[in-house]
Chain A
Amino acid sequence: DQQVKQNSPSLSVQEGRISILNCDYTNSMFDYFLWYKKYPAEGPTFLISISSIKDKNEDGRFTVFLNKSAKHLSLHIVPSQPGDSAVYFCAAGPSGGYNKLIFGAGTRLAVHP
């Protein structure tokens, strides 16, 4: 039973345009959401997060939006750069369970010139 789903396995975007990566979740008890970025032969690195009490968090070119009623979050990257090409994982943490994260299967982003 996948509690966190990333339905698009891959996304291709032109350099300079916006990349939008999507994530859906099923458990309303999730309290915190994170995005990780993974390059080949490296471990995932933390990118940006959002608490369930917010609907938007911004960090430079990266913005995460949370729609709790739809149980949906998205990561926007503007403008996209070739160095953003990586696999992006969405993760969710249950309320009071800060020791655990549930991950999605990832979306592979390719930013081409």
Chain B
Amino acid sequence: DAMVIQNPRYQVTQFGKPVTLSCSQTLNHNVMYWYQQKSSQAPKLLFHYYDKDFNNEADTPDNFQSRRPNTSFCFLDIRSPGLGDTAMYLCATSNGQGRYEQYFGPGTRLTVT
């Protein structure tokens, strides 16, 4: 089955220790997104890639970076995690061909201690 996969599912890191979250997709979609979702809040878009073009949201902290080495993979790097970065991180894809539907992975629950 075509899908969006995120690894790891759970990650605990220490304050200030860099962490990388991974997302891969078998849908061959052009667009990949990273969202941050805190408890009982709406998913908040951090950035997205349309093919190799990176699009950052204006209010995404500089502490958050992303890489997309190929169509299938996208990474979220948090350079110096703070306690406020504890959240669920969701990766999603869409085909970018005028369709709004996005397809989500199961998420990575990150805890910063």
Binding site for B on A (CB under 8 A): 2, 4, 9, 32, 34, 36, 41-46, 49, 89, 93, 98-106
Given A89-B43, A98-B96, A99-B48, is A42 in contact with B106 using a C-beta cutoff of 8 Å? yes
Binding site for A on B (CB under 8 A): 4, 6, 31, 40-45, 48, 50, 55, 90, 92, 94, 96, 98-107
Q: Supply 23 A–B pairs (Cβ within 8 Å), ascending by A.
A: A2-B42, A4-B42, A34-B101, A42-B107, A44-B43, A44-B90, A45-B104, A93-B100, A98-B94, A99-B31, A99-B48, A99-B50, A99-B94, A99-B96, A100-B45, A101-B45, A103-B43, A103-B44, A105-B40, A105-B41, A105-B42, A106-B40, A106-B42
Say what secondary structure dominates the interface of chain A.
Answer: loop
Given A43-B6, A46-B101, A103-B44: 5 more A-B contacts, CB < 8 Å = A42-B107, A44-B104, A98-B96, A99-B96, A106-B42
Contacts of B96 in A (CB 8 A): 98-99
Nearest to B91 among chain A residues (CB) is A43
Nearest to B44 among chain A residues (CB) is A103
